Amino acid sequence: MKGWSKFKLVKYATVLLLGGLVLSCASKGELKRNTALGEALGTTYSIIYLTQDSLDLQQEIDSVFRVVNRSMSTYIPESDISRINSGDTTVVVDAMFREVLELSREVYDKTQGYFDPTVGILVNAWGFGPGAVGLTDSVHIAQLKNYVGLDKISLTKDNRIRKAYPEMQLDFNAIAKGYAIDRLAVMLDERGVENYLVEVGGEIVVRGTNKVKGQRWVVGIDDPQVEVGRRLKTTLFLENEALASSGNYRKFRIDSITGEKYVHTIDPTTGFTKNSHVLAASVIAPTCAEADAYATAFMAMDLEDSQKLVTGLSGMDCYIIYLDDNGETREFMTSGFKSRLQKP
């Protein structure tokens, strides 16, 4: 399957599933442990679902990835989003595209523009994207900023995308992977599967419990300060919810005067890079698309604004790792997130 772009808005998934992707053991009791492993959306996936009898859902899984790609993959020239970005005004978008656009607009509004699927043109200009340009003088950025802003994108009554400027580019990579995971969950629900874990590129949706082990599903979050290899920062239980993480800690600079370490984030509200102390953000939400989008936004927002916003979002918790003014590693964790931590 053709690849999905790794990340825009300097995004990096930090979730790691434990012990062969979950803390699980051999099947026992009446339930059977079915697995599906593979590659899709430019990354790997692992799906574990427990049923009374062996059940092969590979065709259904492939179908979900295929239809999401056909709608929203910027790496497939004939996809709907690629045709729209190339200027084709005849494209009638499907229900999935409309759902992702609607949710993107909701997150865009709630984050005051820090989550913006039109920011890719700036990411490329700063040399962080696949179409790297590397032209970052203030005049050029000001010009490109005209082509950024989800409020400049609208949907007509006949489900066609209207752009304020032809140069504008839509890119759902910071939300579509989470949405694809949600669609896989819907497929499993419709097949009557009550206990499962879906993981794609480190982003997760779980339902029910890991009845093979007799406990809730357990997942881990990577330590963002390990630049080679992987080490777990923490582990936690999940049940009937989603988890997504973002980070840009592998793209940083050291201030030559103060010696401080800063990570680079594109601020879509200004068009310029932002010296952020936030290393990584993990979000628990009812859907993976929501978790995906807000984790991305929290990387660009000031820590205090993220803390204030998450407290007002229903059913959402987060864990943010950051550096204080002295360069020391600190953590912010909502009480709901803390309550899910696996005790030593």
pLDDT at 28 over 80: no
- Say if residue 16's pLDDT is above 90: no
pLDDT of 181-239, one tens digit each?
999 999 999 999 999 999 999 999 999 999 988 889 999 998 777 766 677 889 999 99
Give the per-residue pLDDT at 8: 35
For residue 212, the SS3 value is coil
Query: Which of the four pLDDT bands, split at 50, 70 and 90, describes residue 116?
Result: very high
**Mean pLDDT confidence for 85-109:** 97
Strand duo 15-16 + 203-207: pairing: unpaired
* 1-344 topology per CATH: T-fold (3.10.520)
Q: What is the CA radius of gyration of the chain?
A: 20
Per-residue confidence at 1, pLDDT binned at 50, 70, 90?
A: very low
Residue predicted with more confidence, 108 or 279: 108
Stronger pLDDT, 225 or 119, i.e. the higher one: 119
pLDDT of residue 275: 74
pLDDT cut 70: percent of the chain above it = 83
pLDDT at 52: 93
For residue 20, pLDDT over 90 is answered with no
pTM for the full predicted model: 0.88
Q: CB-based contacts of 182: which residues, under 8 Å, 6+ apart? A: 205, 242, 287, 288, 289
Tokens of 147: 């082509």
Residue 5 has pLDDT above 80, yes or no: no
